[in-house]
Amino acid sequence: MGNQVEKLTHLNYAEVPTSDPNGFDPEDDGPRIGVSYIFSNDDDDDQDENCDHFPADNHPVSHEEKPFDSQDELECAIYYREECVFERKTGAATQSSESLLNKCIPGDLLEFVATGQYPHWAIYVGDFQVVHLHRAEIRNNFLTDVSQGKKGRIVNNLYRYRALPPEVIVRNALDHVGSRDRELYWRNSECFAAWCRFGKREFKIGGEIRIGKQPYRLKLLFSEKKSHVLEFQSLEDVIMEKRRNDQIGKGAVMQELANHLNTTHEIKEENFVN
């Protein structure tokens, strides 16, 4: 088996040097350091430990017991130095996989979401099919099977990089179908799908050297007056942290920050429930 590195668990905010949720720390002018995920595995596979394949059509998986609430999404932006390279605002509409099929064109970047789960990303390649990274393997499946009952949406414009031509995006995806385990260069479905569309090495494992100052900033936007910033050494690390926040939801992230900062009063926010 050889030497293996165990998967690192995420450090919660109580263990991470951080800052006030208003965007500053009155007692510390130092950098707000994020978490490094150097040895972490594909995170959105962890939600499906007991299922190694997609369900048959006569046994669909339903997520209706926890309807997805876009208002519990956390607005955020990713900056590389001073340039904004990603921005998500709350309230983006989602739709059923059947409705999504009527709008998709080859090369589209898709995101499937459900409450309490990591978002699952895929590339639409035409003929009702997508290519995606699932359980340490790149697969080509029908969009309706991949959704597993989740709502989905087209997310071509979240990342602000210039997209490759549609035929190149599709070829990038299809060329890697069947790759698995040690053949993979991406930690999760989002990194793979985004690489297919934009072709940037920063989405790959080890695509950037983690040395020196943290050039990436993840800005979490709780309201017009409340925000929080973490700094990272690579885009890969920022994505892992962003996806963790997507999975636990806005309310849980706010509670983590409140607990860490030992606030004397609760952070109050519209749509936030303790």
Q: How many structural domains compose the chain? A: 1
Q: What is the SS3 assignment for 242?
A: helix
Is 138 contained in some domain?
yes
Is 34 contained in some domain?
yes
By percentage, how much of the chain surpasses pLDDT 70? 71
Is 270 contained in some domain?
no
pLDDT in tens, 4-38: 333 333 444 444 444 443 343 434 444 455 555 55
pLDDT at residue 154, as a whole number: 98
- Predicted model pTM: 0.78
**CA 6, CA 110: separation in Å to the nearest integer?**
31
Sort 162 into a burial class: Cβ within 10 Å, 0-12 / 13-18 / 19+: exposed
Is 3 contained in some domain?
no
CATH number of the structural domain spanning residue 129 = 3.90.1720.10
**CA 193, CA 158: separation in Å to the nearest integer?**
13
pLDDT in tens, 118-167: 999 999 999 999 999 999 999 999 999 999 999 999 999 999 999 999 99
- The residue behind tokens 């293996």 is 4
**CA 59, CA 6: separation in Å to the nearest integer?**
35
pLDDT at residue 21, as a whole number: 38
Q: What range does the domain containing 254 cover?
A: 13-46+62-261
- Here the tokens at position 268 are 């109050």
Is 37 contained in some domain?
yes
CA R_g for the chain:
19
**CA 113, CA 111: separation in Å to the nearest integer?**
6
Residue 171 makes CB contacts below 8 A (sequence gap 6+) with none
pLDDT at residue 45, as a whole number: 54
Is 246 contained in some domain?
yes
